[in-house]
Amino acid sequence: MTRRPVSRRVSLLRNSKASLSQASRSGRTRIERDTMGPLEVPVTAYYGVQTARAIENFPISGIRFPRPFIRALGLIKWAAARTNESLGTLARKPARVIQQAAREVIAGQWDEHFPLDIFQTGSGTSTNMNANEVIANRASEILNGDRGSRKVHPNDQVNLGQSSNDVIPTAIHVAAIEEIQKNLLPGLGRLHKALRQKAKQFDRIVKIGRTHLQDATPIRLGQEFGGYARQMELAIQRAKHAQSVLAELALGGTAVGTGLNAHPKFASTVIRLLSKEIGYTMREAENHFEAQSTQDSVVEASGCLRTIAVSLMKIANDLRWMGSGPRCGLGEIQLPETQPGSSIMPGKVNPVIAESVTMAATQVIGNDTSITVAGQAGNFELLVMLPVMAHNLLQSIDLLAKSAENFSSRCVEGLVANKDTCEGFIEKSLAMCTELAPAIGYEPAAAIAKESYKTGQTVRELARSQGVLPEAKIKVLLDPWRMTGAIGSRKRAR
């Protein structure tokens, strides 16, 4: 590496110090120092020197950590200060003002002071220090000190008993668990209820089934929607499973998993407080080396979210197909009209809500791929792609939660069935000959299907004209309602 001459480096340092002093006197910035030297910090900023360095070092995307993650960081710092006070490792006065400042962070009062890019140090150290500095400076201010005065110290007091290496993965887990609980489960629950209600409402409507996008034997529209409802029932189970695999927290492992510099009771006490705050029981990791050197739990949780996204995409695409038309498509259902569909074709209405769901699902699937790749970055005692995993996991939860809610309210709950269209397709279907096969044989039934396609006559008409079976038998076998399992000993679809 090429190095500047010593005299040149000394000159630059002197000029830098002079510039910083001048800026500080102007009131626009203040001077803070860390182990690397002095740096300008905006005078109004609650963050400090390490955050300012990270702002300079990572001008990558402009993508910041989301609100749930900042809230989780605030919860951890609040619970840590309260725990350290109770354990006697932190004096009452700084502990109380740290808790007050952390509560303000939890409430979102200082979100603008968390400016760091997602694409930063792989441990998230910059963002952990961002939280430490914001809370320390706000706590110092509460004690009538200036920002940057360090009346409360970001490392020695706010970060007491912690390191970035166990705080950041803990924040990922806490934020994800809380977001699933508060938003994703209610969204999926509403969609499940809506689909279940439609399954019941449409149970008397018979339509043609389709496999390979080709005509198949009849089903009830309610059976089809019952399948979608079951998908969402399983989606709810998968979301809860994602919570369960995230419930082990890395807190207490500190830098490498040994727990060095943390009180033996620190982690368990903090985690009890966090569990109470978010309303979900979490626990200390059984093995801190596993909890910090990997994020297999995040990879698994993301896989659950990916599966939910696949389910939503299947349902949304089916509704688009069934609602296609309105006159030259399938037209079996009518989706709610939400907005004009074309800038050139008057009166056109598109299935925009379903399309929105499919795009959100696509993003979740992409997020899962990134998380999977990031999950392989556990080198020895630390995984070093934590920030991007945090962003993608929380974005996936948010997208699924909002998409499920919006899909329910703006599409599924208001859709109606076109009964005549559904039932009109059945008599034309070649698949009606399926029920003839056990009675007359597969090949004779296939011949009737081919003749039906060639001549345009229905299977019923040909069976009658060819006299393959008595009329009464034909009537029974070609009853579409019977074919759906609604009569006899066949198991009903739920």
| CATH of span 165-421 | 1.20.200.10
**361-416 confidence digits (pLDDT tens):** 999 999 999 999 999 999 999 999 999 999 999 999 999 999 999 999 999 999 99
Neighbours of 273 (CB within 10 A): 16
Neighbours of 135 (CB within 10 A): 31
- Read off φ and ψ for residue 111, nearest 5 degrees: -60, -35
CA 92 to chain centre: 39
**What whole-number distance in Å separates Cα of residue 48 and Cα of residue 31?**
9
CA distances from 124 to 113, 130, 447 (A): 16, 10, 69
pLDDT at 488: 46
Catalytic residues: 212, 342
Q: Which CATH class is domain 33-160?
A: mainly alpha
Burial level of 344, CB count in 10 A (0-12/13-18/19+)? exposed
Encode the chain (494 residues) as per-residue pLDDT tens digits. 444 444 443 343 344 445 444 544 556 999 999 999 999 999 999 999 999 999 999 999 999 999 999 999 999 999 999 999 999 999 999 999 999 999 999 999 999 999 999 999 999 999 999 999 999 999 999 999 999 999 999 999 999 999 999 999 999 999 999 999 999 999 999 999 999 999 999 999 999 999 999 999 999 999 999 999 999 999 999 999 999 999 999 999 999 999 999 999 999 999 999 999 999 999 999 999 999 999 999 999 999 999 999 999 999 999 999 999 999 999 999 999 999 999 999 999 999 999 999 999 999 999 999 999 999 999 999 999 999 999 999 999 999 999 999 999 999 999 999 999 999 999 999 999 999 999 999 999 999 999 999 999 999 999 999 999 999 999 999 999 999 996 543 444 33
Q: H helices within 180-285, ranges in order?
A: 185-201, 221-246, 266-278
Angle at which helices 67-87 and 125-142 cross, to 10°: 60
In sequence order, what are the residues at sequence separation of 6 or more whose Cβ sits closer than 8 angstroms to the Cβ of residue 317?
Answer: 354, 358
Q: Which value, in Å, is the radius of gyration of the alpha carbons in the chain?
A: 31
CATH 1.10.40.30 maps onto the chain at 427-483
Closest to 382 measured CA to CA, from 251, 246, 255, 249? 255
Identify whether the C-beta of residue 413 lies closer than 8 Å to the C-beta of residue 353: no
> Going by CATH, does the domain composed of 427-483 fall within 1.20.1530.20?
no
**118-154 confidence digits (pLDDT tens):** 999 999 999 999 999 999 999 999 999 999 999 999 9
Identify whether the C-beta of residue 410 lies closer than 8 Å to the C-beta of residue 339: no
In sequence order, what are the residues at sequence separation of 6 or more whose Cβ sits closer than 8 angstroms to the Cβ of residue 307?
Answer: 235, 238
pLDDT at 27: 66
pLDDT at 4: 44
In sequence order, what are the residues at sequence separation of 6 or more whose Cβ sits closer than 8 angstroms to the Cβ of residue 141?
Answer: 147
Interior CA angle at 187 toward 186 and 188, to 5°?
95
Look at the block and give the residue holding tokens 């952390």: 102
Helix (H) or strand (E) holding 298: helix 296-322
- For residue 159, what is the DSSP state? T
Neighbours of 304 (CB within 10 A): 22
List beta partners, residue 378.
383
**460's tokens:** 């019923």
CATH 1.20.200.10 maps onto the chain at 165-421
pLDDT at 15: 47
In sequence order, what are the residues at sequence separation of 6 or more whose Cβ sits closer than 8 angstroms to the Cβ of residue 316?
Answer: 354, 355, 357, 358, 361, 407
Neighbours of 238 (CB within 10 A): 17
CA 388 to chain centre: 13
CATH 1.10.275.10 maps onto the chain at 33-160
